[in-house]
Structure 1
Amino acid sequence: MVTYLAEIAPTSLVLVVTGSLVMAAQWEARLSDLAVDVRLVNRASAALALLENPSSPRQGVLITTYERLRNGPSRQALADVRPGLVILDGPKSPGADDLAVLARARSVIALLTTGQQDAWAGWPVLASVLPNQLRQPSRAVTVMSFTLTPHEVDLRKAALALLRNDAPRTPDQRLYQSVSLPSLHAQMLRLAGRAEKNGDAGNELWTVLDAIEDFLADDDRLAILVRTVRLASRVSSPSLVVAPTTADMVYAADALGRAGMQPAASVSASTSRAERRAALGALRPGRCVVTTPVMDELWSELPSGATVIILPTTDDDVLLGEILASTADVPGLQFVKLREA
């Protein structure tokens, strides 16, 4: 891919869109040796620099994230860009802003994992890499399986059905980021609020909400999480629990607190960068911190010997890959991934 970009970028603009700032920074590092201008559009100042330019760039490489393509100053700065090539790194499915960029591009390449192929069915496959051809991470990842009860499965199906019915009215919701009951409950509460405001809240919605609230307790997933953190504590290893959503983070933190292992900090998108760094600093031997996947470039500041526990998310392999790549120079890390059996 780098060789191909080296041929394209000197005469045509290439736009690379990734799922996180960590991946964007990795693209920038890999392309830094190209004899072209490589710009990372990762903050307001970079977007403003593009806006202040009287003409849109016509060659080189621009790198940004899906979040910045869809929101804030970066969205405005990239609105008039007409790339010769767009590379979508790990897209779930094309949103409205993504489609607008694709319509302006002469060529588009989507880099997909196996689970993402259905959303892009019909696209020609340029190349395929089998799992056994991929370079395996040098550090082992322990997979811990948990079991859902039949009642949990039924509640999840009912909640997903209601949320999917509402999806056309809320296209920005991250429905598939996590399908845990705490996350689905939080999304359904937002749905109920909108329905009440519009006067169309149905009995089925409240019935499912009440059933989830009655069920929410220490399930098998949390039992395994508590046991894993306790084992790490016994060997004086700090633990970082990575939850896919704020609801999952709160649920995990509460469970750890009830088990006598109150997290030293809880981190989410509303936590400032300084507070996130301070939270990592609180990872002392035997202590734990619970976070959503917002650490970005701070993953590399994990303390040596820490245990990283990743709660289930639909993108857990992508997330794990980002963390592994970002912590390559941190010695002694242990990785545990919880997975539904």
Structure 2
Amino acid sequence: MLVCLLLLLGNALARNYYEILGVTKTATASELKKAYRSLSLKYHPDKPSGDKKKYEEINKAYEVLSDDKQRRIYDQGGEEAIKNPNRNGFGGGFNPFEDFFRNNQQQQQRQQRLPDVEISLDVTLEDLYKGKTFEVLHRKRQLCHHCHGTGGDTADDVKDCPICHGTGMRTETRQFAPGFVQNIQRPCDHCGGKGKIYGKKCHVCDGKKVEEGETTISVTINKGMRDGEEIRFEGFGDEKPDFDTGDVVFKIRTIGTTIFTRRWDDLKTTIHVSLKESLLGFEKNITHLDGHVVKVKRTGITPYGHTITVKEEGMPIKRKETKGDMLVEVIIDYPQGLTNAQIEAVQKNF
């Protein structure tokens, strides 16, 4: 009687790894990963809201539940079973061949990853100069909100196959010579290689495990970013049970026209001056991408095509407090014709 009470007390005090991560017992690998990422960021000791003890609990819970073998042991015996695993040889129903192939299959599954989703993000040169945040509505395939990717209508509608014990594979051991055996792994014919036996299908996704969903992603264009640069959002891609979620990758594409063209961190533009201004000097105003006015002044003779460099009036340079330059090319608008008096003046003075 006392032993039973102590066991009950131990189970009551044991930590519930599912509750620590805030997920249900039927949570998929993708759901566990999302919950872990969110909580580990929130409680990281380096954050103002950090909690070292809570952070360690979160890491321990994820370490166990993200490993299919440890999760199975935990589901059967709780935290105590993880701390004191069975060491009695092949007792407790342990099959070395089944365990080998189960681990091999699980390792292959962990390596599977859905492809990234690439999206072209159209921006203007002004956006790249000033910086801007876009709210992008992203449509994606996500785990069914009702069955959480199991395909069953309730937790009782999805069970491990009793033949392959959830591995989806059956192992046959054949002796082909004295002292020599061959292990052949085949898909389980009882569950069709799925590892699960299904009762009633999920009434929301019809057993497909995923549904169409949408999420809003805030994409920030930092000052000075370039055409073709990528902004990656890890784990925001399509979801599928037993697969790692891919990323959403936004690729910057510059659209629209302005009086400026970009050359690395510099901005190029042109100004037009008259023949008189090219000989005597001029002062011109150029309206920049953010609306401020840049004054360009020159005295004396200016040849056609001459480039005036205005320091630090170009594009912002990422991770620096400086900017590139503005390169202003001078175009001389020559008169279409000259009067006799003008011709005489030119001939006399030049």
TM-score (normalizing by structure 1): 0.22
Name the structure with the higher helix share: 1
TM-score (normalizing by structure 2): 0.22
Bigger CA radius of gyration? 2
